[in-house]
Amino acid sequence: MSKPRDYSELKNELAAEYARHSPKSAALNERAHQTMIDGGSHSLRLIKPFPPRLVSARGAYVQDADGHTLLDFWQGHYANILGHNPDAITSALTRALQSGYGLQSGFTDQLQIEVAEILCRQTGAERVRFTTSGALATMNAIMLARAFTGRELVMKVGGGWHGAQPWGLIGVNFASRAKPWDIESQGLPSALAREVVVTRYNHPDLLRAHFKEYGNRLACFIVEPFMGAGGFMPATGEYLRTARALCDQYGVVLILDEVISGFRFRAGNLGALYNITPDLTTLAKAMGGGMPVAAVAGRADILKLCGREGGGKVRFMGGTYSGHPASMLAAKTLLTYLVEHENEIYPRLAQLGAQTRQTIEDAFAAEGIFARCTGHPNDVLRGSSMAVPQFPYDEEQSLSSPDDVNDPTLCDVELRDHLFQLALLLDDVHVVHGGGALSTAHTEQDIARLGESCRRVARRVRKY
């Protein structure tokens, strides 16, 4: 493919077709705009011209207000390992709610202990504290690290998304080649810009240079062992080993943000596959079984700073719905299931992932468009259930960091992020950022259908 093209005509054509395809969702969108900013509350879901409005979901499929049954690869922001509304979890929740258990928050009970025990056992953490979103988990992990080290600086990866919290809102969206990663939000304390160091994923040399310059002032390095929103790529073994060694050398807290990767690639944390012991791990998404659960897990001597023994120095202590009983029940049910079926679930997900990546690449190739998926495993991560097509202008382009796949002069970002999604929706297939995650509810037939849809999309794109 040649360099950036003007897709405005195709975009208009797709938008008009989509409006005819989904009139009820269009009408609901109009209504939503009367009361909600952009018609909703999570900007990724609020695609242009309007998102499909959901009425139900089961397994690999969701139904929208227009009666379409969409094949869904978004799967709850990649949270669903067993697909939407799996029986194992919905039946446990139904039974509990009918027996008078589930919506009583404000107490604590045995379930929290059981979930914490599973997390410690499966991730090697010494202690766990629950919260309700990934953003709160990463924010509190950073606060713990800053208090523990008495240092100010936080290092993160350009393109890494750690949730909508102050330190996470720097260096997320690609800005320009000269200054790739910028501050994303107004309203933040002005000092924050000076407190966040942005480094490059899978670049050990730059990491060494950054530690040399900032190491003695760094509180923590927060990094995903599998890059999610930044572009679906696993860290190389060398990169994470270097990060661990440098953190040890400079007394820096290593936070592995496993909000996506935790329980997605194995029944536990991904860090374990790298033979890396992080100081703290943040978990959310998959571990909640579809409910809002998140956790900071890791070293007792760091986590205790938010407890009595540590003088309650870090106010990681509120949360009306922290450890919510219905959420804990969903988490326990799912985590127990994943642990018991680990040997079937993860190889199956890996197989479906490999098939999906191959199918997408083949479909585009058959129509003369070069697409290379990210989400492939590497020599540490042996299988992966994640896939997103990238459209690099140079077929040899390295795709190992967010800087590679989000630079519109290197890859056709517009095609991946917007056109592909809208064109697939016309075929009742749902992806976000062009990609998605497999669940055990997906089948080979679903992947074949995705392949056919990709070919139709490719044919449309080729015309322009």
Ligand X SMILES: Cc1ncc(COP(=O)(O)O)c(C=O)c1O
133 binds ligand X (CB under 6 A): yes
* 59-78 residues near ligand X, rule: CB under 6 A: 77
Which of 129, 146, 162, 372: binder of ligand X (CB under 6 A)?
Answer: 162
Q: Are 226 and 263 in contact (CB under 8 A)?
A: no
**Enclosing H/E stretch for 253:** strand 253-258
User: CB of 76: closest distance to ligand X in angstroms?
Assistant: 11
Cβ partners under 8 Å of residue 364, min gap 6: 370, 371, 389, 454, 455, 458
Listed in sequence order, the residues at least 6 apart from 119 whose beta carbon sits closer than 8 Å to its beta carbon are 125, 128, 283, 287, 295, 297, 335
> Which region, left, alpha or beta, applies to residue 25 given φ > 0 means left and ψ of -120 to 50 means alpha?
alpha
Separation of alpha carbons 442 and 445, rounded Å:
8
Q: For the CB of residue 137, give the shortest distance to ligand X in the complex, in Å.
A: 7
According to the binding rule CB under 6 A, does residue 224 interact with ligand X?
yes
Of residues 172 through 191, those in contact with ligand X by CB under 6 A are none
Q: Are 159 and 406 in contact (CB under 8 A)?
A: yes
Nearer to ligand X, 18 or 201 (CB): 201
Q: Which stretch binds ligand X (CB under 6 A): 84-92, 128-136, 173-181, 198-206?
A: 128-136
Q: Is 331 in the site for ligand X (CB under 6 A)?
A: no
d(C-alpha 444, C-alpha 31), whole Å: 38
Among the listed ranges 26-34, 158-166, 343-351, 430-438, the one in contact with ligand X (CB under 6 A) is 158-166
Say whether residue 156 binds ligand X (CB under 6 A). no
Over the window 279 to 298, marking each residue x when it contacts ligand X by CB under 6 A and - when it does not, the resulting string is -----x--------------
Number of residues that bind ligand X (CB under 6 A): 15
Among 257, 361, 403, 427, binds ligand X (CB under 6 A): 257
Closer to ligand X by Cβ: residue 134 or 171: 134
DSSP summary character for residue 51: P
| 129 near ligand X (CB under 6 A) | no
Side chain identity at residue 144, one-letter code: L
Distance CA 14, CA 337 (A): 42
- Positions touching ligand X (CB under 6 A) are 77, 133-135, 138, 161-163, 224, 228-229, 257, 259-260, 284
